[in-house]
Amino acid sequence: MTAEELKEGQVLLIDKPYRWTSFQVVNKIKHILRHDFELKKIKIGHAGTLDPLATGLLIVCIGKETKSIEKYQASEKEYSGTFVLGATTPCYDMEKPIDATYPIEHITEQLIKDTANSFLGEIDQVPPIFSAVKINGKRAFDYARKQEEVEIKSKKIFIKTFEITRIELPEVDFRIECSKGTYIRSIARDFGKALKSGAYLSKLCRERIGDFKRVDAMDVENIRNYLTANTL
């Protein structure tokens, strides 16, 4: 790939590793562009942040393709993952320790599936306090880190598919197809409440963004080889 081809625009599909931030992935690519191609000012960005504990598809746009970021961000997403029932954490995933436990003896397989079906369609969702949602010009996580009380407004999202793929209590595996702006961590919180218990997200993988699929994405270790292949 040549420097001119990169400037004209490229879309990279990256399978983001566990514990990497989306920024770290972009920064790695930026480093390659600067040192291998001497492109100091080329535009680069990603279409939809993944939390550090999440894995899966991250779309990275280079050059003129950065103009398409908003289009990709607006696309339908598909996720797979695992909820743990009977407990909650402040951030709704495993980033922070469990802060409360709840009974799960009353939870049956049928109740789990019926509850998942109740989330289908357009619903109101409140984003997590540990998120990048802006409130009065500040990120929600800035308030959370200072333990400041703040109201986060709900927003409309759309759940197209909520499939339960494995039940081995307290773990429940799922597959969700949803609209832009959906927080799977918030679904974990609300799913636990709907079951009259608690739940948090222990595993999350983004499988698809629009027509782009994780199975077609490359590992972080292969980015340099891909970009420098056939370089003149």
pLDDT in tens, 9-44: 999 999 999 999 999 999 999 999 999 999 988 999
- Residue 51 falls in the annotated catalytic set: yes
Please state, in angstroms and rounded to a whole number, the distance separating the CA atoms of residues 98 and 59: 32
Residue 97 in 3-state DSSP? coil
The CATH number of the domain covering residues in 3-73+211-228? 3.30.2350.10
Q: Is the pLDDT of residue 7 over 80?
A: yes
Residue labelled with tokens 């009259």: 196
The CATH architecture of the domain made up of 77-209 is 2-Layer Sandwich (3.30)
Q: Which residue has the higher pLDDT, 202 or 143?
A: 202
- From the candidates 51, 114, 142, 190, which is the catalytic residue? 51
- Residues 199 and 84: beta-carbon distance below 8 Å: yes
The residues near 162 (Cβ < 8 Å, ≥ 6 apart) are 116, 117, 119, 120, 174, 175, 176
Q: For residue range 107-143, what is the model confidence (pLDDT) as tens digits?
A: 999 999 999 999 999 999 998 876 556 655 655 556 4
Q: Confirm whether 3-73+211-228 and 77-209 share one CATH topology.
A: yes
Domain extent listing, the chain: 3-73+211-228, 77-209
